[in-house]
Amino acid sequence: MKKLFLSMALLLCVGSVLGQTADKLMKKYKGIKGVQYENITKKIIDMKEEEAPDMYRASRGLTKVEYLSGVLSSDKVEQLQKELNALKGFERVYHEKHNGNNGPLSMLTGNFKLFNNIQYYAVVDGEYFKELIARIDADANVGNLVTLIHMKGPIKQEDVPLMIQMEESHDVNIKEEEKNENVLIVINGQEFPNLNSAKEADEWMKARGIRWNHQNTIVGESAVKEKYLNTDKKVAIEFSEE
């Protein structure tokens, strides 16, 4: 009887992965504490041609654009990869991996110079993608910083880099910002201007017996300013307890 229950549990687990859709995947991971999420579909639809002609042209067929970004535990990163591989109707159409200080890569959520993994999964229809989900991993010196960008098309394949803004301009190197003391540390909702890096924050908390369980990184001066009005830092690293 125990074997039967175990087999049924495994079957249900495998079935949930195999039946995964991109919408369900985004809903699952945006629900994780510390993960930032935004649906920018209306912003894209309301975009004016004079604001960004190339982006305007490439985005006219889009019906949904959303993204999320956050630090994931190693087991969640492993689970995410399994779920991406099992997305119904999707195939991996692009994979770029780096082991060193390579880049730069800029994204909808901000800009990361140190990235180590980029993957595109798509529903392919000739030279177009009907639907796309991009996974981008960045080495932010704070853990597994993962960004997922989900778009429903049609999207011309050659326009994908443009849509996720893979450019060299205005990139923010998190490690460099730490060296320049341009990082805002936030612990349990309180700002600590005297701490200038994730390492310093970790040592400070350990010395006071604070055991943090969640970590979130906000990248880009405007994104940081939107949440923390009294700072001009380009990066905010948030720590919190359960």
Q: What is the DSSP string of 13-44?
A: HHHHHHT--HHHHHHHHHTSTT-EEEE-HHHH
Q: Say what angle helices 74-85 and 22-30 make with each other, to 10 degrees.
A: 170
What is the rounded CA–CA span in Å between residue 135 and residue 149? 7
DSSP state of 158: G
Question: Cα–chain-centroid distance for residue 93?
Answer: 19
pLDDT at position 99: 53
**Other Cβ atoms within 10 Å of 132 Cβ, number:** 26
**CA neighbours closer than 13 Å in the CB half-sphere of residue 101:** 5
- Give tens-digit pLDDT for 88-110: 999 998 887 755 444 444 344 44
pLDDT at position 185: 92
- Give tens-digit pLDDT for 1-30: 444 444 444 444 444 445 579 999 999 999
pTM recorded for the entire structure:
0.63
pLDDT at position 154: 92
Cβ contact 163:59 at 8 Å: yes
For CA atoms 66, 72, 77, 79, the dihedral sign is negative
Residues of the chain with pLDDT under 70: 1-19, 98-115, 139-143, 165-176, 178, 213, 215, 219, 242
End-to-end CA distance of the chain: 37
pLDDT at position 123: 95
CA nearest neighbour of 151 among 65, 27, 47: 65
